[in-house]
Chain A
Amino acid sequence: MDSDLIPKGVQRCSLGKFLLWISACGFVLAIGVYAMILCWLKGLNQTNMNDAYGFALWIWADLAIIALGGGAFFTGFLRYIIGIKELKNIINYAVLIGFICYSSALLILAIDIGQPLRGWFIFWHANVHSMLTEVAFCLTVYFAVLTIEYIPLVLENRKIDKIPFFHNLSHNMHEIMAVFAATGAFLSFFHQGSLGGVAGVLFGRPFGFREGILIWPWTFFLFTWSAAAVGPCFTILITKITEKVTRKKLVKDNVIELLAKISGWMLLTYIIAKLIDTYYWAFHTAPGMGLTLAQFYTSDPGSVYGYWILFLEVVIGGIVPALILVTKFGRTNKIALWIAITLACIGICTNRWVMVLQLLAMPVMTFQSWFTYFPSWQEIATTILPVAYGAILISISYRYLPIFPQERELNPIPGEEAEVETVEKEEKKELATGDLSPATETAT
């Protein structure tokens, strides 16, 4: 029924099956939307946040998905600025994942604030000294960039592409995509960093506070670096999951391996920096405030945060995946790669978790004890919402848009081989001329 909309030369499941899957995701989405509406109408009393936990699950989710969505900017940076051609085969998906992550992040922020209708005050009455202002501006503008990067992909839908204006628009946008990508990379650098700065500048919160350079605490750079390192891992992870679900190979191994290699080295350098930072924080910054590392990671009443979480974050989620990814064996061995990218994602999520939730759990005044918090169902539902939303958007995009340039080549449909060949020829031509036009563009 919807065959007109499906890209040429690829096979998709039946519409019925597709709709069944969409409605399953839609159900989860609907619960999330219901919870979201509850929060908007009744206020944040629907959550279990409290005056000790001003930030909670949502902000963690925000930080985590933006870090994971960092694949978009970093892959874009590598593809368009550094000019690594192979990455064009995965850039579309990286952009899509980034788009999902960032739109979700903005949505969560809109639920998280107590006065959503005044949310725009952050722009209008901006306090330029606040890290959150920087986050809001960069996030919004970068989201615009991601949208711009995603639009051409939408315009390449078979039906839409037939409209000359859109066809032309898509082409033009591709032509100057490098400019947008560069702007996006610039913005991303700042907002990933300022998200790190959010915790790092809190000089009243010893767990988060870091010294730094000029106005930027070390966490500023660590967050950018870690997002750049793990973002691609997440892109690979989602690609791998998509391949599992669709039971198709969608991206060639050399592309994945290249990205994994870059990610691995980024992660290794990040984790070294992180270790230096932790050492300096534990043995210089904290004692200056009268605290020891043992007070940060403790089994005091109310605290669930022992040294285990530091070990999880740095060793299991950092050193281990980094070491796997920098070795050729690790990148080529399927299981090792799976383990590495999963651990890397867990590691970064743990890092964002401690920088939000452990930060708030820890009492600063000596006569207070650790604060506990458990999210309400509304918080959990709205946090899962982006997952369902992401699954739906990926499914629709995958079904109707030419996301994976290598799909046709890797999954030839008997009887359509001839066409594939022409595509390959075209590709070769492009590579030779160094044209920046999209990899999926087909002859009209």
Chain B
Amino acid sequence: MFPFAFEWIWDMGHYVFHGGLWYALSIIGAGMTYCIGKAAYDTLIQEKGSHEDEHH
């Protein structure tokens, strides 16, 4: 899974496979971080902010 595992070889198989894997993981990770972060931010804003700012 990581290049420090001893069976790791820098070949096409690993590029393609792990390329795809880490690409997908990054999207999911980034997406979730965004959602949670934004939700936390929004909540904070809502709590501090006035009623005009009420979400939705």
Contact = CB atoms under 8 A, between A and B. Distances in A.
A382 B25 CA distance: 31
A370 interface: no
B43 to A, nearest CB: 5
Interface residues on A, range: 20 to 34
Given A145-B28, A183-B28, A128 B38 contact: no
B18 A128 contact: yes
A168 B34 contact: no
A311 B54 CA distance: 62
A129 B17 CA distance: 9
Interface residues of B, number: 28
A124 interface: yes
Interface string A150-192: 0000000000000011111101110010011001001100100
Interface in A121-165: 123-129, 133-134, 137, 141, 144-145, 148, 164-165
B31 A168 contact: no
Given A124-B1, A125-B5, A126-B1, A176 B21 contact: no
Nearest to A176: B31
Given A123-B1, A172-B34, A165 B56 contact: no
A124 to B, nearest CB: 5
Contacts of B36: 169
A165 B25 contact: no
18 contacts: A125-B1, A127-B7, A128-B13, A128-B16, A129-B13, A137-B17, A164-B42, A166-B39, A167-B55, A171-B55, A171-B56, A172-B34, A176-B31, A176-B34, A176-B35, A183-B27, A183-B28, A190-B20
Interface of B: 1, 5, 7, 13-14, 16-18, 20-21, 24-25, 27-28, 31-32, 34-36, 38-40, 42-43, 46-47, 55-56
